[in-house]
Amino acid sequence: MNKTALVTGASKGIGKSITQALVKSGYQVIGTCREPDDLKENEKIPGVIYKRMDLSDEDSIKTLISELPSIDVLINNAGSSLMAPVEEISQEVIQGMFQINLFGHISMIKGVLPGMRKQKKGLIINITSFASHTPVPFSAVYASAKSAMETLSMALNNETLQFGVRVVAVAPVFVSTNIYQQKICNVDSDYYPSFKTVSDLRDASIDDGVSPHLIADQVMKIIQTDNPKVFYAVGKNAGLLHLASKILPGGFLLKNIRKKFKIS
């Protein structure tokens, strides 16, 4: 029987590439997005069952979970980004970012775990971000939500491996997608000049990023490996960047990040 994978954020970008790769490998895929009824036929991948799920709406997560068959692989991929000086972000927006990039993903995990434990097998892959290791200026809130997700991924293995359920974090560097980035910074803010420079450079880095298919290839390798690692960094110079983030002093790393993004 075909295995079943659930991919959140399957309508575009990285999630769509992962969905395509899973279908090609013979998986039955359930893909989510916020408005599946608005997807045009040529935007859909044949064979995929599209379901509604909005990470900022816990009821939509509950409804999705209640309609699911048993899931072999969950790809927690959906998400969006935020660029803003921390000082100028309302608590409401910060909580919203954590809902989309952390709490909603935890609800998804809690939803599939009972079934995975019952079948004594399961794989959860959380798409985090390398921003947690080398945070772009003004991405502190986004990066910290992704960082928490990465720690949760690793820590969860301690609870679930006894039931045959494995959890892996995949942290892309820059990927060429149209990822939604909420940008908050008033033109008359003291932060605005550096914010504008960083924001433009970050957009250019995303445009110049790797293809989402590269992330999908890594995800498929993880799925096909018996004993995957708990963390993978993927993208341009990912291996080198990961090593540098592990061994270089934090202050030196930040200095280089500020230099790259032309902020003093």
Ligand X SMILES: NC(=O)c1ccc[n+]([C@@H]2O[C@H](COP(=O)([O-])OP(=O)(O)OC[C@H]3O[C@@H](n4cnc5c(N)ncnc54)[C@H](OP(=O)(O)O)[C@@H]3O)[C@@H](O)[C@H]2O)c1
Q: Which amino acid, one-letter code, is at 112?
A: V
CA distances from 99 to 91, 206, 232 (A): 12, 23, 23
Least separation in angstroms between residue 48's CB and ligand X is 12
Per-residue mark of binding to ligand X, 122-151 (x: CB under 6 A): -----x-x----------------------
16 is catalytic: no
Catalytic one of 16, 51, 146, 232: 146
Q: Distance between CA atoms of 262 and 19, rounded to whole angstroms? A: 37
Which of 7-15, 155-163, 196-204, 247-255 is the region at the interface with ligand X (rule: CB under 6 A)? 7-15
Dihedral class, residue 32 (left if φ above 0, else alpha if ψ from -120 to 50, else beta)? beta
Contact status: 175 vs ligand X (CB under 6 A): yes
The amino acid sitting at 203 is D
Residue nearest to ligand X (CB): 13
**Is 142 an active-site residue?**
yes
Residue 49: exposure state from Cβ atoms within 10 A (0-12, 13-18, ≥19)? middle
100 binds ligand X (CB under 6 A): yes
Which residue is catalytic, options 27, 50, 142, 232? 142
- Closest CB to ligand X among residues 13, 122: 13
54 binds ligand X (CB under 6 A): yes
What is the size of the binding site for ligand X (CB under 6 A)?
A: 31
Among 206, 220, 248, 263, binds ligand X (CB under 6 A): 206
Q: How far is the CB of 187 from ligand X (least distance, A)?
A: 26
Q: Which residues bind ligand X (CB under 6 A)?
A: 9-15, 33-34, 53-56, 77-81, 100, 127, 129, 172, 174-175, 177-180, 206, 209, 212
